[in-house]
Chains A and B, each alone.
Chain A
Amino acid sequence: MMTIENIKTNTNFSSPLGVRGSLDVKGLTIDAKNVDFYYSEFHALKNINFEVNKNEVVALIGPSGCGKSTFLRLMNRMNDLIPGTRMTGSMLIEGQDIYAPNVHVDELRKEVGMVFQKPNPFPKSIFENVAYGLRVNGIKDKTFIEERVIESIKSAALWDEVKDKLNKSAFALSGGQQQRLCIARALAISPKVVLMDEPASALDPISTAKIEDLIHELKKDYTIIIVTHNMQQASRVSDKTAYFYLGELIEYDQTIKIFTNPEKLSTQNYITGRFG
């Protein structure tokens, strides 16, 4: 079986973050320093410092509007799409400042994949949905694409359900299947980090459980940041939890500590459901 590492060497993916092969994976995978973020005049994130090690699962929690999704979207520069936004501070991924002028945003997004709140498969076949990321990144080798697509669908625990209908429309899948397809799609281009923005909030409990199991599996190969409104989910899937409130990172620690013995009162109030 192909491993993620040798897939990388098989493809032409140059590192987005600098010269290929120069990445030092010993350091932190994500290292945000003094991050401030503004939507026009609105100060949405205030002096965030945040570090993630390789292969960790980190949950971002907090009430609606606290800035957790905004922070997530800073890691693959999705906020660039919103006019009038501004960031200060630095966001390093594997030691490289992803907001440096020489970073191409499409190259960055190959390394930092994303799964959205609402399943958003393209109006294409199941196969083509997963192959999309490879194709737009210039990969033409048919055998490689096929192997990669199959492997990604298997990694997303979807293979048994779709193996006989790879050429059928992705729209024919259920919501939960569509979301796993979107995860497969993100995995196909072998990202280092996978960002998940409330990936299970639109799904039923069984599909949610499947996504959570999947996150446990994916942890072996990927660093995962997940935004969630579901406390149980955060405690089940993550190693560390970050609690955001009103644009500030109030507390960031081992998940077990946050949920059993938080240091801040605000955190305690939130996780016990006293507000939010």
Chain B
Amino acid sequence: MTPVIQAKNTDRKKRNSQAIAFTIFKLMSYSVVAILFIILGFIVIRGIGVISWDFLTKAPEEGMTKGGIFPAIVGTLCLVAGSSIFSFPIGIMSGIYMNEYATESKVATFIRIMTNNLSGVPSVVFGLFGMALFVNTMKFGDSILAGSLTLGLLSLPLVIRTTEESLKAIDKSYREGSLALGATKLQTIQKVVLPMAFPNIITGLILSIGRVSGETAPILFTVAAYFLPKLPTSIFNQVMALPYHLYVISTSGTDIEASRGIAYGTALVLIVIVLLVNLLANGLRNYFSKKVKTN
């Protein structure tokens, strides 16, 4: 039997260009994954050798060519916690205000433009600003407090934006449903909107943690210590931090060649922390989106 409709030349052209386009798109997206795996593989192969219990739990020794990176891990965790305490409440409340209360007002538009600008500011500028304001003017000195506040400022736009976007994604029919039952706006936000938006908000928060834990420039002038094997005892102490430690031993250590292995080990630890944080974000989002539907 002959086909009812004969393929014409134009049809073939159409299908060919479609096939080519899809192949290109596919190759591009695969190559992104490939690059990611190459980077990860490279660091894992170079760094896995130095990872040991001692490496994770001991301070650097012998001009940072031996020993571990424990103080830097602790320092990074302190900074993450400190910046979160600062940026989460302010960011979430701003996000709620902008999406629920001042949606189309000039104030909200202004705040939105400003936060977008803020997120475009290079992180080293935040570092400089943090030094000027927190370290010098407010006299916190080089300290966890100054570093946390600087990192907090840096992550604030991300937190605000995630909160706002998560709230925006909740259909207005749920708000109307609640208001129509005599709930106030605040009750509606607390009992219906926030619980529904929570899985997405928490994902955004945790991703901002990932960002904060990897930043170097903002902590450069505000908190990071070149070498400080002691653990911090107060928020006015300096600490070591993983990204800065990595920078130091790769560029200005006492013996850069000798500490190469440690540098890859540090990079590996940093990547694993960020990866774990992302996995946690996914897990929590799944957990909360299940939970929110049933109670």
Q: Which A residues have a C-beta under 8 Å from some C-beta of B?
A: 76, 78, 81, 83, 106-110, 113-114, 116, 118, 120-125, 128, 132-133, 135-137, 167-169, 171, 182, 185-186, 189
Contacts and interface: CB of A to CB of B under 8 A. Distances in A.
B182 A133 contact: yes
B195 interface: yes
A76 B192 CA distance: 20
A169 B294 contact: yes
Greatest chain A CB density within 10 A among B103, B195, B295 is at: B295
B202 to A, nearest CB: 15
A182 B181 CA distance: 10
Given A83-B104, A118-B173, A123 B292 contact: yes
A71 to B, nearest CB: 16
Contacts of B179: 78, 81, 106, 109
Given A113-B180, A116-B177, A122-B192, 12 more contacts: A78-B176, A78-B179, A108-B182, A109-B179, A116-B176, A122-B178, A122-B191, A124-B295, A128-B295, A135-B191, A137-B183, A167-B294
Nearest to A115: B180
A110 B176 CA distance: 13
Q: Please list the 5 inter-chain residue pairs (A to B) with the smallest Cβ-Cβ separation, ordered nearest first.
A: A133-B181, A110-B182, A136-B183, A114-B180, A120-B173
Contacts, number: 80
B181 A168 contact: no
B181 A125 contact: no
21 contacts: A81-B179, A83-B103, A109-B179, A110-B181, A114-B180, A116-B173, A116-B176, A116-B180, A120-B171, A120-B177, A121-B177, A123-B196, A124-B294, A124-B295, A125-B294, A128-B295, A132-B181, A132-B191, A136-B181, A137-B181, A169-B294
B251 interface: no
Does more than half of chain B's interface fall in helix, strand or loop, or is it mixed?
helix
A120 B182 contact: no
A32 B196 CA distance: 37
Nearest to B192: A122
Contacts of A167: 294
A118 B174 CA distance: 10
Nearest to B187: A136
Given A118-B173, A169-B293, A169-B294, A123 B181 contact: no
Contacts of A122: 174, 177-178, 191-192
